[in-house]
Amino acid sequence: MPVIGLISRATQVGVAAHGRSPHLLSGSLMCKTRLMYFTRWLSLYFVPVCAAGILVGVASGANTTTDPGKSLIVYVNITDQGIKLSSFLRGSLAGNTNLFSADPARGQIALFEIHNLGKKPHGFQVLGKKIRAIPPGALKSFRVYLAVRGKFPYGSSLDKNSPLFHGIFRVY
């Protein structure tokens, strides 16, 4: 058996006993073998794990993100018999501006327009905003950013005892 590089005779005999040829242990071939195993490890384990992590991150973000900045109009009609809420998105169809019925969603800016259609003063409160007394026939408005999803109570600040003047405003 010839001696290759600085490999001792004992090493050559030990390698030969395991069925490997001693020339694999020479300098440049040994580095190429390590590089080959390392690149195989990268391609088999590291790259697929990273790709799976990226796909999971993209897929989970797609389900919970809401488009920001859509303006929502919430009409609040207060009569002497109760409160009625209706929500709409403003959009254009065939060149005309129209209102489309819509559910409030997180990320929207809601414009609440409160109309008192009754014969006595009424108030309104929702999402931390409170309008004390709206005279009969008057209109008041305010804007609120819908930051979180959930169910939020609304009601009249003056008619506290009647269940017809209270309800739940849901943000999807």
Short-list 36, 112, 34, 33, CA closest to 74: 112
pLDDT for residue 61: 52
pLDDT, one tens digit per residue, over 94-153 is: 777 777 778 888 888 889 999 999 898 988 889 888 888 889 989 999 999 888 999 999
Short-list 87, 109, 107, 111, CA closest to 148: 107
pLDDT for residue 16: 54
Query: Worst-scoring range by mean pLDDT, 6-10, 76-80, 100-104, 158-162?
Result: 6-10
pLDDT for residue 31: 63
**Residue indicated by tokens 């799976």:** 52
pLDDT tops 60 at residue 22: no
Strands across the sheet with 150-155, in order? Answer: 129-134, 122-126, 150-155, 166-171
pLDDT for residue 152: 92
- Distance, in Å, from the CA atom of 172 to the CA atom of 17, rounded to the nearest integer, reads 72
Short-list 126, 129, 119, CA closest to 167: 126
pLDDT for residue 107: 86
Provide the 8-state DSSP code for 157: S
Number of residues written out for the chain: 172
Q: Strand 129-134 relative to strand 122-126: parallel, antiparallel, unpaired?
A: antiparallel
Q: Which helix (H) or strand (E) holds 113?
A: strand 109-116
CATH class of 71-171: mainly beta
pLDDT, one tens digit per residue, over 55-82 is: 665 555 555 554 555 678 899 999 988 8
Angle at 63 between CA 57 and CA 69, to 5 degrees: 110
Provide the 8-state DSSP code for 108: P
pLDDT for residue 115: 92
